Amino acid sequence: MKTYLRRLMGEAQTHPARFVLWALLTSALLAAGGWEGLHYYSDYHLRQAEQAMERYDFEAAEQHLAACLRVHPRSARLHFEMARAARRAEHYEQASEHLQRCRQLQAKGAEIALESILFQAQCGRIAEVEKLLQREVDQENPDADLILEAMAKGYVQIYRLDAAMYCLNRLLSRQPDNLAALLLRASMWKAAGNFPQAEEDCRRAVEAQPQHRAARLQYGELLLLTKQADKARTQFEYLRQLPGGEAAEVLVGLARSHRQLGEVEAARRLLDAVLERQPHDGMALLERGKIALETEAPADAEKWLRQAVADYPYDGQAHFLLAQALLKQNKEEEARIYEAAHKRIEADWKALEEAFHRVVKNPRDPGPRLQAGLICLRNGRADEGERWLLSALEQAPDHAATRAALAEHYQRIGKTDLAELYGQPVGKGLSQLQP
């Protein structure tokens, strides 16, 4: 009880509005049945968390488990459940914190040991534990499905895509409606350019969990990409009826559907509403610029597209459209600058796609991974670039060019300890390295 009160006082200082809500709730529970009411409150949220996990709604599970931990902050079991939910939601910092809390509470057991290994594997450090995990799956560990899911995500982190696909196929043979596996496999099919297979997996995911927000978003985005705007609109209209239905990603998706269907005014209203609340939303700016370029004065398009380029300097389409808006106003010299930027960015993404296919054909070759990492780094995708470079070292730990690229990348972002770990660049700097 004392611990709970201390947490409440801490909330009073850092989150006064939340504290008022808690105070009202606590008063109601005390009136209803004393401190036992808090345990009913905790049990309710625990049941809700379990149901959310069954729906693959890991973020909702985290919220309910956080409510339980306010009442029972020293429960090792709750910290374990929170660590697992956070890991599956890919909230790795939170997962690590709750695993550490389990250790501080001196929690032991096979479940916690396995969860620590799954965390390591899913974060991409899978080479050290993959044989152990494969053996556990082969021996029908009760958590075999969780193991396969974590392994698949870990393999994706280091771009061992053949191994990731094997794990997903094996998992889906055991659980055909496993939402996490279906959505991850769909994203892999999409990256490989196999849109029919990606669409099939997205459709199955939506049918398995009709109210799963991420599944419908992914399905809607894929339908827009494949120019099936009418079907996409259905997905976004459904999403708009769910909690969070006025979120920018939903409204922009719906606006893109309207624009593809020629319903320009409906698209414009939705985009203006989004940009009024979130003036730097990249996709909304880009879509608004397209509409202005097609139906309004090019000066209006220029306004939206300049903002898009300023906020998202590595978006090739934004540069291309801004160049078109400038050409329509006879600003040819400036237009050439953005046309050149568009060509450079598009050439990089084509090279990245080629490197990706080379990785699929020869996953042990560090060269294509180095190339992919360098492309991502020079186009503002630092996290992805770092993962590509680290995955190259998974295949060839002494690959000098990759170590040089990583060292200079870490030096640039101020991680001098890691820069020293990988050594000084050999021969040429990152900007000069040509894979």
User: Under the phi-then-psi rule, with left for phi > 0, alpha for psi from -120 to 50, and beta for the rest, what region is 159?
Assistant: left
Q: What is the pLDDT along the chain (435 residues), one digit of tens a residue?
A: 444 445 544 544 555 555 455 555 555 554 555 556 677 788 899 999 999 999 999 999 999 999 999 989 999 999 999 999 999 999 999 999 999 999 898 877 888 999 999 999 999 889 889 999 999 999 999 999 999 999 999 999 988 888 999 999 999 999 999 999 999 999 999 988 899 999 999 999 999 999 999 999 999 999 999 999 999 999 999 999 998 899 999 999 999 999 999 999 999 999 999 999 999 999 999 999 999 998 888 999 999 999 999 999 999 999 999 999 999 999 999 999 999 999 999 999 999 999 988 988 888 899 999 999 999 999 999 999 999 999 999 889 999 999 999 999 999 999 999 999 887 544 444 443 333
Contact 322, 305 (CB under 8 A): yes
273 with 221, same domain: the answer is: yes
Q: Check residue 179 and give its pLDDT.
A: 96
The residue from 228, 255, 278 where one domain ends is: 278
Domain membership of residue 389 (yes or no) is yes
φ, ψ (nearest 5 deg) of residue 126: -90, -25
The answer to the question of residue 384 being in a domain is yes
The answer to whether position 216 is within a domain reads yes
Residue 262 within any structural domain of the chain: yes
| 197 and 271 housed in the same domain | yes
State pTM to two decimals.
0.83
Q: How many CA atoms lie within 13 A of 165 on its CB side?
A: 14
Among 278, 298, 318, the domain-final residue is: 278
DSSP of 1-59, one letter per residue?
A: -HHHHHHHHHHHHH-HHHHHHHHHHHHHHHHHHTTHHHHHHHHHHHHHHHHHHHTT-HH
Please tell me the predicted confidence (pLDDT) of residue 428: 41
Rounded to whole angstroms, the Cα distance separating 410 from 405 reads 9
The number of CA neighbours under 13 Å toward the Cβ of 418 is 14
Identify the domain boundary among 233, 254, 278: 278
CATH number of residue 411's parent domain: 1.25.40.10
Concatenated DSSP letters of 272-302: HHHHHH-TT-HHHHHHHHHHHHHHS-HHHHH
Same domain, 261 and 212: yes
The pLDDT assigned to 431 comes to 40
Sign of CA dihedral 102, 108, 112, 116: positive
Residue type, 104: Q
Predicted pLDDT of residue 87: 97
Q: Can you give the residue range of the structural domain that contains 201?
A: 193-278
Identify the three-state secondary structure at position 411.
Answer: helix
Number of domains comprising the chain: 3
User: Which residues, in sequence order, are CB contacts of 55 under 8 Å at separation 6+?
Assistant: 179, 209, 211, 212
**Same-domain status, 316 and 261:** no
The burial of 148, by beta-carbon neighbours within 10 Å (0-12 exposed, 13-18 middle, 19 or more buried), is given as: buried
User: What DSSP assignment string belongs to 191-220?
Assistant: HTT-HHHHHHHHHHHHHHSTT-HHHHHHHH
Same domain, 414 and 371: yes
pLDDT value of position 15: 53
Tell me whether residue 164 is in a domain. Answer: no
- Do the domain assignments include residue 118? no
| pLDDT at position 361 | 86
DSSP 335-379: HHHHHHHHHHHHHHHHHHHHHHHHHHH-TT-HHHHHHHHHHHHHT
- 324 is a domain residue: yes
Query: Which of 216, 275, 200, 222 lies closest to 250 in space, CA to CA?
Result: 216
For residue 336, being part of any structural domain is answered with: yes
Quick check: 152 and 164 in contact, CB under 8 A?
A: yes
Spatial separation of the C-alpha atoms in residues 79 and 103, rounded to whole Å: 10
| Domain identity same for 377 and 317 | no
